[in-house]
Homo-oligomer: A and B are copies of this chain.
């Protein structure tokens, strides 16, 4: 084996802290970057992060090589740059990294939501970044995790078989290879349009939140989000949104997983519809609703998940009226234009292209 892969983790939220500590505990050299120095001051002082975990999971003190808020310093030694920030920050991270990226570096968005790698690449291009970097996105964050203090992180679960794709997809094998020593659970996600259109959060999060808006806001989220929140009627809305998503994918020539297929895969769920499948398995038990509507289930998943899927639908001729309704209600509730702020076709860099051209763009070396 050659030299250990050097990781830089961008973002010190609960996911970023869990990942940095986990990598460090696996003996990889890890740099942790956070834009705001105060947010990582305690980690810098301690020199690392205390990781707790499920039984037999990774745990202990993960010693970090560097903790910094200087992007140049953060990227200088990196082989792989793990971006673990809300998708609403991807464009800013791209801008911030553009001057410092070097040939052969890999950037992985954990996760990309919908269109993450496409937008990141488009921003690098706009910033005239000439480095031959490989941008990739994961379909979901590989951890279920939480942060319980400034230098703490806790991993509840490391997910099996998380699909990942590079842009273009010809580069996915080299990304998987670079990550394999640390993360053998990443698998080939075919293309960034596949990982983007298999984003289940787009379907589950905003609609479930909005159709329980009154209850979330009047109780502070004191109820079981999926078990109480997904009623037969709410599930019907989720199913329509899911069908719209799968239809948008089909218009692009992509066979996306249905929500039901995903539940069967992720949780071994049984049942003939989403309502049954969500209620027939234990994975959702105990998960509380968000305490407020000002939550990433809307603020991130509407502009970064639903809007790009709906935008692809509009561009390629698929009616997405259910998605439109949910996006519109989110705009009203948050008094903002999630269409304008969201990942529309122009931000993905595929505004003027046909379906065939879009597919070649994500699949073939440029």
A interface, CB within 8 angstroms of B: 208, 210-215, 217-218, 223, 228-234, 236-237, 240, 293, 321-322, 324-326, 328-329, 332-333, 335
Contact = CB atoms under 8 A, between A and B. Distances in A.
Contact of A329 (B218, B229, B325, B335): B325
A214 B217 contact: no
A223 B228 CA distance: 14
Contacts of A223: 215, 218
A227 to B, nearest CB: 8
A228 to B, nearest CB: 5
Given A236-B335, A329-B237, A332-B236, A215 B217 contact: no
Contacts of A335: 236
16 contacts: A208-B214, A210-B211, A211-B211, A211-B213, A212-B212, A212-B213, A214-B230, A215-B215, A215-B223, A217-B233, A233-B333, A236-B335, A237-B333, A322-B328, A324-B328, A325-B326
Given A218-B228, A324-B325, A332 B237 contact: yes
Contact of A293 (B218, B233, B328): B233
Contacts of A332: 236-237, 240, 322
Contacts of A232: 217
Contacts of A210: 211
A213 B230 CA distance: 9
